[in-house]
Amino acid sequence: MSETVIKVKNLNIAYDENVIMHDINFEVKKQDIFMIMGGSGCGKSSLLKVLIGLKSPAKGQVFIQGADFYKSSDKSRKKIMQNCGVLYQNGALFSSMTVGENIALPLQQYTSYSPSAIDELVELKLALVGLHGYKTFYPDELSGGMKKRAALARAMALDPEILYFDEPSSGLDPVSSRLLDELILELNANLKTTIVIISHDIDSILTIGSQAIYLDAATKTLAAQGNPKTWLKNPPTSAIADFFKRRTEV
């Protein structure tokens, strides 16, 4: 039985009085590639915001590596977040810095490595995402797919144990999307990283997802949890069946 890395208990998410998700319960095990699925507007991104500390839950608890994230002090939360990397939908690279400086930033901030060691780590991270030689490029000199990979290199700069991805394949062509999926699998296998991905890219979900939850916009709660590959043949709900068949509700 592998260890639980993230545990969400009775979570409610609300914007002012408007509760958009209620009674969410799930666990993410170590080295899972955990997919958060659901139609547009079901609250996937809001759930991610809660998981990465950008939005406080209206109710419930989020445990990350055993610690109650929202009951921890600011200092402890910062420490927990150093163990997490986030790849935002548009990369969110700092445009005034080169790609190398973007990746070096968390290393300079949170480690005591010498500048040459940081430089070498930046070289390695860039090489791992297939961007060797792009260290001195600015983000606006890169294509969409390259920006995503550079952002991934920054997200894994500190060797985080948990990596969150917000719709990694959005805006990518099928080949770049497949390459990113392969990269996620390699990182998961070799660095033993737990990966949480928000996605509605069915190919990606079926290729790399080991566990998944489906958020239902109609009931505003979690509709199912399990292995997404089994859902293709035996969908637990009609909404999931429609999701996989790409059908719209009538």
CB nearer to other proteins: give 24 or 184. Answer: 184
User: In the bound complex, what is the minimum distance in angstroms from residue 166's beta carbon to other proteins?
Assistant: 18
Residue 133 interacting with other proteins (CB under 8 A):
yes
CB nearer to other proteins: give 193 or 199. Answer: 193
Residue 3 interacting with other proteins (CB under 8 A):
no
User: In the bound complex, what is the minimum distance in angstroms from residue 144's beta carbon to other proteins?
Assistant: 12
For the segment 94-113, give every residue that binds other proteins (CB under 8 A).
95-96, 111-113
- Alpha-carbon distance values, 105 to 77, 156, 158, 221 (Å): 19, 12, 10, 38
From residue 173 to residue 202, what is the string marking binding to other proteins with x (rule CB under 8 A)? ------x---x--x--xxxx----------
Three-class DSSP labels, 195-211: EEEECCCHHHHHHHCCE
User: In the bound complex, what is the minimum distance in angstroms from residue 61's beta carbon to other proteins?
Assistant: 30
User: In the bound complex, what is the minimum distance in angstroms from residue 7's beta carbon to other proteins?
Assistant: 25
CB nearer to other proteins: give 8 or 180. Answer: 180
User: In the bound complex, what is the minimum distance in angstroms from residue 53's beta carbon to other proteins?
Assistant: 23
Task: Give the Cβ contact number of residue 212 at 10 Å.
Answer: 25
| Number of residues forming the site for other proteins (CB under 8 A) | 32
Residue 88 interacting with other proteins (CB under 8 A):
no
User: In the bound complex, what is the minimum distance in angstroms from residue 58's beta carbon to other proteins?
Assistant: 31
User: In the bound complex, what is the minimum distance in angstroms from residue 205's beta carbon to other proteins?
Assistant: 23
Please name the residues in contact with 8: beta carbons below 8 A apart, sequence gap of 6 or more. 24, 25, 26, 27, 51, 60, 61, 62, 63
CB nearer to other proteins: give 133 or 249. Answer: 133
Q: Give the residues lining the site for other proteins (CB under 8 A).
A: 95-96, 111-114, 116-117, 120-121, 123-125, 127-128, 130-134, 137, 139-140, 156, 159, 179, 183, 186, 189-192
